[in-house]
Amino acid sequence: MTGNLKFWAVIPAAGVGKRMQADRPKQYLELHGRTVLEHTLMRFLDHPQITGVVVALTDGDPYWQRLALSHPKLMSAPGGEERCHSVLNALQVLQQRATESDWVLVHDAARPCLRREDVDRLIAALTDHPVGGLLGLPVADTMKRTDAEDTVLETVPRDNLWRALTPQMFRLGELAQALESALKKGQLVTDEASAMELAGKAPKMVEGHGDNIKITRPQDLRLAELYLAEQD
Q: Which of 52, 79, 132, 133 binds ligand C5P (CB under 6 A)?
A: 79
Least Å from the CB of residue 102 to ligand C5P: 21
Nearer to ligand C5P, 122 or 130 (CB): 122
Instruction: Examine residue 220 and tell whether it contacts ligand C5P (CB under 6 A).
Output: no
Q: Phi/psi at 136 (nearest 5 deg)?
A: -150, 175
Instruction: Examine residue 216 and tell whether it contacts ligand C5P (CB under 6 A).
Output: yes
Whole-angstrom distance, CA of residue 150 vs CA of residue 107: 32
The stretch among 69-77, 97-105, 108-116, 117-125 that binds ligand C5P (CB under 6 A) is 108-116
Q: Which of 81, 147, 150, 232 binds ligand C5P (CB under 6 A)?
A: 81
Closest CA to 26 of 53, 58, 73: 58
Find residue 10's DSSP bridge partners: 54, 106
Whole-angstrom distance, CA of residue 201 vs CA of residue 36: 32
Say if CB 64 and CB 57 are below 8 A apart: yes
Q: Phi/psi at 168 (nearest 5 deg)?
A: -120, 130
Site for ligand C5P in 22-61 (CB under 6 A): 27, 56
Least Å from the CB of residue 81 to ligand C5P: 6
Find residue 8's DSSP bridge partners: 52, 104
Instruction: Examine residue 179 and tell whether it contacts ligand C5P (CB under 6 A).
Output: no
Instruction: Examine residue 13 and tell whether it contacts ligand C5P (CB under 6 A).
Output: yes
Say if CB 107 and CB 115 are below 8 A apart: no
- For residues 129 to 168, the per-residue mask of contacts with ligand C5P, x marking binding by CB under 6 A and - elsewhere, is ----------------------------------------
First to last CA, the chain: 32
The stretch among 10-18, 63-71, 152-160, 193-201 that binds ligand C5P (CB under 6 A) is 10-18
Nearer to ligand C5P, 79 or 133 (CB): 79
Give the contacts of 163 (CB within 8 A, at least 6 positions apart).
136, 137, 139
Closest CA to 17 of 87, 83, 69, 76: 83
Q: Which of 10, 98, 109, 189 binds ligand C5P (CB under 6 A)?
A: 109
Residues that bind ligand C5P (CB under 6 A): 12-15, 27, 56, 79-83, 86, 108-110, 214, 216
